[in-house]
Amino acid sequence: MKKIFLTITFILIFALTLALPVFAALESVSLGMSYTLSANPSGSYADDGKMLTDGIHGTKVGESYHKSGTYVGIPATSIDENGCFSVTVDLGEVKTDITGFDLYYACETDANVYAPEYSEFFVSEDGENYTVAGKVMSGESNDAGITKAGVINCRLNAGVKARYVKFVIKNPLFIIGEPESVANVGWMFIDEVSVLQDDGKTPEMGDMLIIPVINSIGVVCAAGGLTALIAGIKKKTER
Ligand SMILES: [Ca+2]
């Protein structure tokens, strides 16, 4: 009986230690926030003014992501002379400790939909003066036969202040200085932009050690109580 008790206790401690709560180091501060676009997207894949900060990500419907109704379609006519399109999010107030940006997109090369070549991230406190905070290449291939939903993640080493965050995305097939290349650039499809703030909950080493100990004590107490209860019932039954 003692052996079974010890075995069960050990398994429970092990399981609960593995199930340690995971602290999110970053939280989105752009959810539900308003934004403006550098140009009108396609009428067929139009923006409803909320799609890019609603937290809803595109899903694959049949064989396609971009037709799922959750993507904003950016045709060749919506990119500028540098092959770029931008989304500027208004966070409502100046936020501190902004340390990350995510841009979500679809890539379906057989449907002429391409992942951005890169996304560049600019921050501003007043909406007029912007400074660049980061630039990340998607690294995505333009080869035929690709169907996927992807994301470009940018993480900063130090937090920055911002009320406005501009996501500039570059069409991968547009060649700067060769405007005639616009005839062959296809589309970009994006479904979400996200601005991330350090939530101050990054676990310290002490937390990592304390939680398993608390879990273990809880399990031992619970198991001990259960054993005592069973013993009590058994004793009562034997009378
Ligand atoms: Ca969305």
CA of 70 to the centre of ligand 1 (A): 6
Distance between Cα 54 and ligand 1 center (Å): 5
Ligand 1 centroid distance, CA of 134 (Å): 22
**Whose CA is closest to 168, among 94, 89, 239?**
89
Residue 53 phi/psi, 5° resolution? -130, 20
Query: What is the pLDDT averaged over residues 122-148?
Result: 97
| Per-residue tokens: 63 | 């064989």
Say how many Å lie between the CA of residue 56 and the centre of ligand 1. Answer: 4
Distance from the alpha carbon of residue 175 to the mean position of ligand 1, in angstroms: 29
Question: Residue 237 above 60 pLDDT?
Answer: no
Q: What is the pLDDT of residue 232?
A: 55
Percentage of the chain lying above the pLDDT 90 cut = 64
Say which amino acid occupies 175: I
Beta strands in the chain (DSSP E): 26-28, 35-37, 72-74, 84-108, 118-124, 131-137, 147-170, 188-198
Q: With left for phi above 0 and alpha for psi between -120 and 50, is residue 236 left, alpha or beta?
A: alpha
Higher pLDDT, 4 or 25: 25
Alpha-carbon gap, residue 198 to 193, rounded angstroms? 17
**Per-residue pLDDT reduced to its tens digit, 13-67:** 445 545 555 544 799 999 999 999 999 998 899 999 999 999 999 999 988 999 9
Between 122 and 213, the higher pLDDT residue: 122
In this model, does residue 103 exceed pLDDT 70? yes
Share above pLDDT 70 across residues of the chain, in percent, rounded to a whole number: 74
Instruction: Please determine, for residue 202, whether its predicted confidence score (pLDDT) is greater than 80.
Output: no
Q: Long-range CB contacts (< 8 A, 24+ apart) of 221-227?
A: 223/5, 223/8, 223/9, 223/12, 227/5
pLDDT attached to residue 24:
47
Residues 81-99 pLDDT 10s:
999 999 999 999 999 999 9
**Residue 3 confidence class, pLDDT cut points 50, 70, 90:** low
- Quote the pLDDT of residue 239: 46
Any idea which fold 26-198 has?
Jelly Rolls (2.60.120)
pTM (whole model) above 0.85: no
| Domain parsing of the chain, residue ranges | 2-22+203-238, 26-198
The Cα angle at residue 215 between residues 211 and 216, in degrees rounded to 5: 115
What is the distance in A from the centroid of ligand 1 to the CA of 29? 14
